[in-house]
Amino acid sequence: MPVVSTPVSLRHAAGPMDDAEVERIRNDFPILNQQVNGHPLVYLDSGATSQNPLSVIEAEQEFYEQRNSAVHRGAHTLAVAATEVYEQARETVAEFVNVRPEEIVWTSNATEALNLLAYAFSNASLGRGGAAAERFALKPGDEILVTEMEHHANLIPWQELAFRTGAALRYIPVDDDGTLRIEESERLISGRTKVLSFSHASNVLGTINPVDVLTAMARRHGALVVLDACQSVPHLPVDLEALDVDFAVFSGHKMLGPTGIGVLYGRSELLNALPPFLTGGSMITTVSMEKAEYLPAPQRFEAGTQRISQAMALDAAVNYLKETGMDRVHAWERELGQRLVEGLEQISGIRVLGPRAGVERIGLAAFDVDGVHSHDVGQFLDDQGIAVRVGHHCAQPLHRRLGLVSTTRASTYLYNTTADVDAFLDAVAGVRPFFGVQQ
């Protein structure tokens, strides 16, 4: 295992998180100790990508300094050491979401993981994988069901799968405030539904969807369930076995890890029946000039040279979150999220998307400023050292449904203080006066 520094903030962590502990946590994140445009950095864009603690940065550096070698390909000392840390990372991530290591597939990000599934399903639709893969095959008359609040990464791959197979893509609508219309789910899920894919938590609305309710509906009709957990695994205690989904995806860079690594979870019996997507070295047993035979999962989905240093760094990121305690992280972000919404709702001319104050949400809030474009809002905040996300957040259909083109989004994480939120709210209150919009 890599030798990295123990985060100062975690040596005596206990009880509920508070601002004093978060100030200590911030010391583990070098990037937060800087000024932007003459102001202390207030980073409220973790919904897009999170920052890295020193233990994560050091883990990746240690790999290149001490263990740099290909995995599963050599018997020399460095190759063995690299393989050990690579597979240890798989075990760490599997334990974090309560599944088996062989059910964890490394990908470049969650987008690739969803594309892997969609293209593997289309391969099954062409007859690849034989009888074992028939349950993944789609044809005209079959249906793929998503929701109207999906990130493009959990929409476009299914659009493409529908195009390639002749299946129909349908969606569960949201109401005027963005709430998923569960009553419509009962009508839309049927024996024709082969795949139900939806987000655990919305990256725009902050909504936490009822996984148990939706999964139970799918189970009654034999549909496969795919969970986009990009905004839940970093922020909530997530037990994938208890959630009873068939597949799930999440990204390392949203949970204190590096870019370039993501995770596909799949039930072992499903992964081993699923035909591969990428092919080449490291995922085969026997190759002739006419055909190839493939390794069991997860290796059958990990062709080529792998994301070894990134896996090692993700291992460190998960350990950081485990030591902090996901129950504690969730409770702190719930407090910050409510503070965001309550403060925004008190500012004239602000429309907050998603649940109102007092209703459960993850620690983010997307909002529209009447009379001011979101890009101008973002620039105004950036001038004060406050980093937020602007645009449609890769959810154009959702914005269109809510009568908007774009919004501004503030998203928190375990290194944000209440002072960060208050500085943001003070700045937002000044947006409309600065642009001369009538109050």
CATH number (3.90.1150.10, 1.10.260.40, 3.55.50.30, 3.10.180.10) of 8-52+325-431 reads 3.90.1150.10
CA gap 196, 145 in Å, rounded: 5
Q: 237 with 263: CB under 8 angstroms? A: no
What residues have CB less than 8 Å from 222, skipping those under 6 apart? 191
DSSP for 38-88 reads: TEE-EE-BTTT-----HHHHHHHHHHHHHT-S-SSS--SHHHHHHHHHHHH
> Is the entire prediction scored with pTM above 0.75?
yes
In whole angstroms, give the CA distance from residue 261 to residue 89: 12
For the domain covering 62-322, report its CATH number: 3.40.640.10
Copy the structure tokens of residue 360.
């459960």
Question: Helices (H) and strands (E) in the chain — how many of each?
Answer: 15, 17
Q: Is the peptide bond before 298 cis (omega within 30 degrees of 0)?
A: yes
Q: What is the pLDDT of residue 439?
A: 65
Strand pairing report for 284-287 and 292-294: antiparallel
Contacts of 240-246 with CB under 8 Å at 24 or more apart are 240/97, 240/98, 240/99, 240/265, 241/98, 241/99, 242/98, 243/211, 243/212, 243/215, 244/212, 244/215, 244/219, 245/211, 245/215, 246/270
What is the pLDDT at residue 438?
76
Listed by start position, the domains of the chain span 8-52+325-431, 62-322
Q: What is the DSSP letter of 202?
A: -
Q: What is the mean pLDDT of each run of 10 residues along the chain (439 residues)?
A: 46 78 98 97 98 98 93 88 95 98 98 98 95 96 98 98 98 94 93 98 97 97 98 98 98 98 98 94 92 93 93 98 98 98 97 94 97 98 98 97 98 98 98 90
E runs forming strands in 173-304: 193-199, 224-228, 247-251, 262-266, 284-287, 292-294
Give the active site residues.
394
The structure tokens listed for 94 are 């599997």
| Same fold: 8-52+325-431 with 62-322 | no
Residue 124: exposure state from Cβ atoms within 10 A (0-12, 13-18, ≥19): buried
Per-residue CA distances from 267 to 109, 244, 293, 385, 400 (Å): 19, 10, 21, 44, 35
- How far, rounded to the nearest angstrom, does the alpha carbon of residue 338 sit from its chain's CA centroid? 21
259 and 317 in contact (C-beta within 8 Å)?
A: no
